[in-house]
Structure 1
Amino acid sequence: MVAAPLIAFVTTHILYLKCYQFDYDLNMKACAIMGVAEVLIWGVWAGISNHPSKWKIWVVTISEGLIILFQIYDFPPYKGFLDAHAISDAIVVPVSYIWWSFIHDDSEYRTKTLMKKAK
């Protein structure tokens, strides 16, 4: 129910950019909207879920919020080498590891839950 409108929006956005006109400002706005929607959806899920690894989702959502802020509010390089884009790229690496760690934990949790129901 949540995924269908998001997939439709992303598909329409990509087709517009590819087939009609590539508008950088529109693309940044759409990506920011999708990023905020993702953070809100996962934040709500983590807030109402009883998942044992939901702390990982909190870390990911907070980190992704920071990534979005650094991408939108870009600042010039500090002492010529560290700018907002570099910081957001540095945040992505540990967030990716935590995200995949959550997916692994979730698959084990779901499997255990299904195995308990099958008995």
Structure 2
Amino acid sequence: MVSAPLIAFVITHVMYLNFYKLDYGWNMIVCVVMAVAQLTIWAVWVGVSRHPSRWKLWLVVISGGLAMLLEIYDFPPYEGFLDAHAIWHATTIPLTYVWWSFIRDDAEFRTARFLKKAK
């Protein structure tokens, strides 16, 4: 119900950027809106869920939101080395580890719950 319109929008957006006008400002708006929507959906889910590893998802949602601020409020390189974009990329490394750790925990939790119901 939601997937098809979202996929159609993303495809249309990419085609617009590639074949009509490469508009950096518009692309940033679209990406920020999609990121905020995704973080909001995950925050709502983890807020109502009783998942045993929900703290990992809270960590990803909050840290991801803070990391997104680095992308939005870009600043020039500090001491000529680290700018906001570089720090943003650096934050994605531990966030990816925590995210996939949650995915593994979720798979184990759901499998155990499914096997318990099957008995």
TM-score, normalised via structure 1 length: 0.91
Is residue 17–residue 23 contact of structure 1 (8 Å, CA) maintained in 2? yes
Matches of 1:41 and 1:7, distance apart in 2: 17
Give the total of aligned pairs. 119
Long gaps (5+) in structure 1: none
Residue 56 of structure 2 is aligned to residue 56 of structure 1: yes
Q: CA RMSD in A?
A: 1.4
Distance 1:67 1:4, change over 3 A: farther
Query: Any residues of structure 2 matched to 1:1-119 within 5 Å, and which?
Result: 1-119=1-119
Alignment CA distance shift 1:93-1:37 (3 Å): same
Q: Once the two structures are aligned, what percentage of the paired residues are identical?
A: 61
Distance in 2 (alpha carbons) for counterparts of 1:40 and 1:2: 15
Q: Distance in 1 between matches of 2:2 and 2:46?
A: 15
Q: Any stretches of 5+ residues in structure 2 without a counterpart?
A: none
Distance 1:62 1:2, change over 3 A: farther
- Give the alignment's TM-score, normalised by structure 2: 0.91
Q: Counterparts of 2:56 and 2:12 in 1: how far apart (Å)?
A: 31
**In structure 1, what is the Cα distance between the partners aligned to 2:95 and 2:84?**
17
Structure 1 position 82, deviation (Å): 1.5
Relative to structure 1, the CA distance from residue 4 to residue 109 in structure 2 (aligned partners, 3 Å threshold; closer, same or farther) is: farther
Cα separation, partners in 2 of 1:70 and 1:15, compared to 1, 3 Å: same
CA contact (8 A) 1:66 1:88 kept: no
